[in-house]
Amino acid sequence: MPPTAVLLSQAFSGFAFGTLLALMSSGLTIIFGTLGFVNFAHGAMFMLGAYAAFVVLTYTHSYIAALAAGALVLLVVAVVLERGLLRFFYTRPPEDQLLVTFGLSVMLIEGMRFFFGSDSQRVSPPPWGDGIVDFWGVFYYPLYRVEAIGIAAAFLLALYLLLYHTSVGLMVRAGIEDRLMVGLLGIDVRRMFLLVFAVGAMAAGVAGVIFAPLSAVIPDMGTPFLIQAFVVVVIGGLGSFGGAIVGGILVGELLSLTTAFNPDYSQASIYLAMTLVLVLRPRGLFGAVGRI
Amino acid sequence: MSASVGARRGSRWLPEIIVALLLLGLPFGFEAAFDTVDLLSRILVWGLFGIGFDLLFGYSGLLSFGQAAFFGTGGFVTAYLLTSHALTNVWLGMLAGVVAAMLFSLLVGYLALRRVGLYFAMITLAFAQLSYFVEDSPLAHWTGGENGLPGVPPPAIDIGPLTVSFSSGWGIYALIATLFFLGYVLARFIVRSPVGAVLTGIRQNADRTAALGHSVAGYKLSVFVLAAAYAGLAGVLLGIFQSYMPPDAFSVDTSGQLVFQTVIGGVGTLLGPAIGAAVWLFLRDELQQIPGVGSLWMFILGAVFVLLVTLLRKGLYGTLAALWESRIAAPVPQPEPRARAAVRLHPTTAQPTPPSAAGAAATPALEALMVSKHFGGVRAVSDVALTVPTGEIYAVIGPNGAGKTTFLRLLSGEMTPTSGHILLRGHDITGHSVTAINRAGIAKSYQINQLFNDLTCRQNLRIAALGRHRGTLRFDVFRAADSIPAVEQSIAGVIDELGLNATADLPVATLPYGEKRRIELGLALATLPSVLLLDEPLAGLSPGERQDVIRLIRRLAEGRTIVLVEHDMDAVFALAARIMVMHQGRPLAEGAPAEIRRHPEVRRAYLGGLKAHAHA
C-alpha cells in the first residue's frame, strides 16, 4: 500500500486530469447526442486548441487571449467543416460519418505537422500559474494544475448553464431526446446542429488550451486523449452530459490511482473498467435506454 | 457477386486466375523498378490483413477500429514462441500466433458485438489500446515492451536433402504471396457461399436477417474471429518478413492505416485493401523524396481519403470495377422458364411424426393466452387471447394505436410479452428469439418494407430461403449460395407466385413500391412458414394491386395459417374467417365477419369511431 500522502496526491492529480477529460468528453457527447455521430476528429480539435495556446502564449503571454484564440480557431474550423462537409453526412450511415471525421482528423494532424513539425513544443504556464501549492504539508502540487481544475470546471459550468438554463439549451436537449420532433416543432434543426457542433468543438479546443502547459504539444497529442474520451462516454453513457463529467473524473482517478500502485497497469485499468461497464450495464452509467 | 452466376459459370475462376498471374508476374516488375520485391511483400502483408477486414467491414458492415489488437497478438505470440525457443518448429509457431489472435478475438468479439455501429467501432478501438498497453508494460518481459522482439526466424521446408528457407527477398515473397493467394481464394469462397449471402444480409438489414431465421450474433462473431485470423496471420508474416516484431503493430495507427487502405482501395472488393496498401506505401516512399511536399504525404492521403468517402464510397478499385462492369454489361440473361412451383411453397415444417387426424384437428396452429405487453405505465397490449386453427385467415383490426402491430410483434418474437403465453401447435414459444420462432415456422411481413435494398429480388429471397434450408448457423463456405437446388426451387416458386419474373434480377431499390411490397411478402413466404403474420400487406397499394394481393393471400392460406392486421375493411371482411377488434390494447370483440359488422360496441368504438369520440 503506497503512503497516504502519495495516494492523496495521486487522487488530486486524477481529479485534475479528470476535469479536463470531462470537458473534452462533454463536447463529444453533446455532438453525438444531437447530431447522432461520433466526432473522430475531436482529438485533433483538442490538439488544435493546444497549438493555438502555444502560438498565442509564445507571442502575447496572455492566457485569456490563448483561451479566446483556442475557442475562436475551433469555432472557425467547426463552422467550415460542418457547413462544408459534415452536413452532407447526416443522412449517411454512421460508419461513413466515422470514416469522414477520421479522415479529417488525419488531415488536421498532418497539416499541423507540416507547419510546426513533429517536435514537441513547450508552453509555459501563465505567470500567475507559477508556483507550488502546499496542501497542509501532506503533498505539494504545481499551482497551475490546481488552477486548471478551476478553469476547466468553469467551462463545464458554462456549458451546463448553456444546456440547462437557456432556451437554446432546452432545444438542444430536446433534440437529443427526439431530433425529428424538434424539427417538426419548427425549430431550425440545421442551425442547431451547427451550433452544437461548434460548441462541442470549442469544448475540445478549450480543453486543449488548458492542457497545453501541462504537457508536450505535438501533432499526435490528441489521439490518446480521444480514445480516453471514448472510454469516458462509454462508461458515462453516450449522449449524457452528466455521464461525461462523472465518467471523466472516474477515468482520471482510475488512471492516477492505479499509477500509485503499479504504473504498468494504469492505462489498462480504464479499459478494464470500460469492459466491466459494458458487461454489467451496456448503456453506460447515465445512458438512456434505447439510444443506440 | 454476380446475380446470374449460372450464365457466367465459365468466368467462375477468372479472378483467382488473374490474381495468381499477378502474384507471379508483379514481383519481376518490382524487382526491375525498385531492385527488390520487399515493397510488394509488404503490400501483400497489408493486403492479407485487409482481406479479413474487408470480410468484416465491407461484407458484414462491422467497422472495427481495433484490428491492430489481433495483428499484434498474432505477431507477438509467434515471435515470442520462436525467439524464446519455446517452439522450434516455425510452422507451428506461426499457427500458434494465428490461433492466439482468434482466441483473443473471441473474447473481444463477445463483448464488442453486443453493440452496433459507433459503439462497436469505439469499443474495438479501446480494446486495441488495452492490448497495446498490456504489451507495453505488464507483458514487457515477454514482448520486449517498447523494444519489440528482434530475431524472428523464417520457416523452411525440407525437400529431400534440400532445405528451402523462406527468408529475405524472393524467399519471403514466395511465402507471403502463397498465403495471400490462399487467403484470397478462401475469402472468395466465403463471399460466394450461403455464409456470404447472410453476411451481406446482416450488413444491409440485421434485424430482418435475424427474423428470416439466421443467427445474426453467431455469424457476426464468426466473421469477427475470421477477420482476426487474417489479422493474426498478417502480423505473423510481418514479424518474419522484418525478422523483428515491432510494438507499434498494436498501435491505433495500425488499425487506422488498415481502415485507410481498405477505404481507399475499395470496401467489399477483397483486393481493394491491397491496392490501398500499394497507394499508401508508394506515396509514403515516393512523395517523401520530393522536397517541400514530402512531409505532406499523409495529409494528401487524408485528403484523398475524405474525398473518396464523400464522393466515391466504393474506393479506387470498386469504382473502376463498377465502370468496367457497366461497360461490358451484357443484357441481363433471362432466367430459364421454370415450371410453376406452387407445391414447393407449402410449409415443410409438419411435425416429424404426424399426429393422428383427431389430434391435429384439436391442436390449434397458433394460440395466445392472455398476452400483455406493458412499456412502463403504457399498456400497449393487455390480456389479448386468440386461437387460430390451421388454415384459417384471422384478422386483427382496430383504430391506430390499438396495439395491433405490437401484438403481431409479440407473436413473431420481436418482443417478449410482459405476461401471458404464445403457443405454436401446442408448443410454448414464449420468450424465444425471433430467429428461433421463424425456424419454428412463423414468419412476418412488415408494415414498413424491410428489404435488402442493394440486392436483387432473387438475392433477397435467397437470404430468406437459405434460413429454412441450412439452419440458423452453418459454415458451408465451399458451395455457392445459388447452388442449392431446394433453395433455388423455393425462390423460383415465390417469384412465380408473386409474379416477379420480369424484375427478379434487378436491385430492389430500383423497383416501384408495389413490387417492393410484394417482395416484402415474398421474404416471409420464402422461409416456408406454417403461420404467416401480415402487418398491413395492402398499405400504400393501388386498388388494382390490392386485388392481386388479396387473391394471393387467399391462395397462400391453403394449408397455411394467416394472422392479418389491415385497415382495408373490405379486404378484411372478404378474407378473414374470424376477426378480433382491438381497442386501446384490449380485445373488444371477436367473431365471424358478420358478427363483427353487427357488434354494437365495435360500431361505437371503431367503425363509427368519429361519432363515439365526438360524444366523449
Probe site for chain A from B310, B415, B453 (most A CB atoms < 10 A): B310
| Residue type at position B427 | H
Neighbours of A113 (CB within 10 A): 18
Q: Which residue has the higher pLDDT, B94 or B156?
A: B94
Closest CA to B530 of B556, B501, B509, B561: B561
User: pLDDT at position B346, please?
Assistant: 52
Query: Is B110 within 8 Å of chain A by CB?
Result: no
Cα–Cα distance for residue pair B75/B245, rounded to 1 Å: 7
Residue B209, C-beta contacts closer than 8 angstroms, at least 6 positions apart: B198, B201, B202, B216, B463
pLDDT at A17 over 50: yes
Residue B126: which of A37, A104, A227 has the nearest Cβ? Answer: A227
Residue A22: band (very low, low, confident or very high) from pLDDT cuts 50, 70, 90? very high
Establish, for the pair of chains A and B, how many residue pairs have beta carbons separated by less than 8 Å.
Answer: 114
Q: How is residue B68 written as a grid cell?
A: 491492430
Average pLDDT over residues B213-224: 95
| Residue type at position B170 | W
Cα–Cα distance for residue pair A218/A204, rounded to 1 Å: 16
Find out whether B243 and B38 touch, Cβ atoms under 8 Å: no
- With CA atoms as reference, the chain A residue closest to B308 would be A100
Read off the pLDDT of residues B230-268 as tens digits, 9 standing for 90 and up. 999 999 999 999 999 999 999 999 999 999 999 999 999
The CA distances from residue B189 to B5, B195, B454, B478, B590, in Å, are 14, 9, 21, 6, 53
Q: Which residue has the higher pLDDT, B20 or B333?
A: B20
Residue A288: band (very low, low, confident or very high) from pLDDT cuts 50, 70, 90? low
Q: How far is A193 from chain B (nearest CA, A)?
A: 19
This prediction's pTM: 0.90
Probe site for chain A from B122, B296, B300 (most A CB atoms < 10 A): B122
Q: Which of residues 294-313 of B touch A (CB under 8 A)?
A: 295-296, 298-299, 301-303, 305-306, 309-310, 313
Q: Which chain B residues contact residue A274 at CB under 8 A? A: 123, 126
Highest mean predicted confidence (pLDDT) among B42-51, B123-132, B321-330: B42-51
pLDDT at B344 over 60: no
Q: Which chain A residues contact residue B133 at CB under 8 A? A: 267-268, 271
Cα–Cα distance for residue pair B369/B367, rounded to 1 Å: 6
Q: Which residue has the higher pLDDT, A105 or B399?
A: A105
- With CA atoms as reference, the chain A residue closest to B296 would be A114
Helix, coil or strand: residue A185: coil
- With CA atoms as reference, the chain B residue closest to A235 would be B123
| Residue type at position A86 | L
Query: Is A148 within 8 Å of chain B by CB?
Result: no
Q: Which stretch of A60-69, A123-132, A176-185, A241-250 has the lowest confidence by average pLDDT?
A: A176-185
Cα–Cα distance for residue pair B48/B51, rounded to 1 Å: 5
Length of chain A: 292
Query: Is A279 within 8 Å of chain B by CB?
Result: yes
Average pLDDT over residues B118-126: 86
Average pLDDT over residues B358-365: 65
Read off the pLDDT of residues B383-430 as tens digits, 9 standing for 90 and up. 999 999 998 999 999 888 888 999 999 999 999 999 999 999 989 999
Q: How far is B62 from chain A (nearest CA, A)?
A: 9
Average pLDDT, chain A: 88
Average pLDDT over residues B159-181: 89
DSSP code for B565: E
User: pLDDT at position B349, please?
Assistant: 45
Residue B320: band (very low, low, confident or very high) from pLDDT cuts 50, 70, 90? confident
Find out whether B306 and A88 touch, Cβ atoms under 8 Å: no
Map grid coordinates 455464409 to a residue: B195
Average pLDDT over residues B600-605: 77
Query: Is A38 within 8 Å of chain B by CB?
Result: yes
| Residue type at position B221 | L
Residue B345: band (very low, low, confident or very high) from pLDDT cuts 50, 70, 90? low
Cα–Cα distance for residue pair B458/B467, rounded to 1 Å: 15
Read off the pLDDT of residues A46-91 as tens digits, 9 standing for 90 and up. 999 999 999 999 888 889 999 999 999 999 999 999 999 998 988 8
* Ordered strands of the B393-397 beta sheet: B442-445, B531-535, B561-565, B393-397, B578-583, B586-591
Residue A100: which of B129, B252, B306 has the nearest Cβ? Answer: B306
The CA distances from residue A189 to A90, A172, A193, A195, B114, in Å, are 12, 9, 6, 10, 31
User: pLDDT at position B137, please?
Assistant: 81
User: pLDDT at position B355, please?
Assistant: 41
Residue B310: which of A32, A100, A267 has the nearest Cβ? Answer: A100
User: pLDDT at position A92, please?
Assistant: 87
Average pLDDT over residues B427-438: 92
- With CA atoms as reference, the chain A residue closest to B304 would be A103
CB contact under 8 A, B299 and A106: yes
Read off the pLDDT of residues B267-284 as tens digits, 9 standing for 90 and up. 999 999 999 999 999 888
Sign of CA dihedral A64, A65, A66, A71: positive
Q: Say what the ipTM of the complex is.
A: 0.90
- With CA atoms as reference, the chain B residue closest to A269 would be B130
Length of chain B: 616
Average pLDDT over residues B430-441: 92
User: pLDDT at position B361, please?
Assistant: 54
The CA distances from residue A236 to A248, A249, A277, in Å, are 8, 10, 9
> For chain B, how far is it from start to end, CA to CA, in angstroms?
60
Q: Give me the domains of chain B, ranges plus CATH numbers.
A: 9-251 (no CATH), 364-441+530-616 (3.40.50.300), 451-528 (no CATH)
Query: Is B351 within 8 Å of chain A by CB?
Result: no
Probe site for chain A from B248, B264, B299, B312 (most A CB atoms < 10 A): B299
| Residue type at position B88 | T
Read off the pLDDT of residues A230-273 as tens digits, 9 standing for 90 and up. 999 989 988 888 999 999 999 999 999 998 888 888 888 998 89
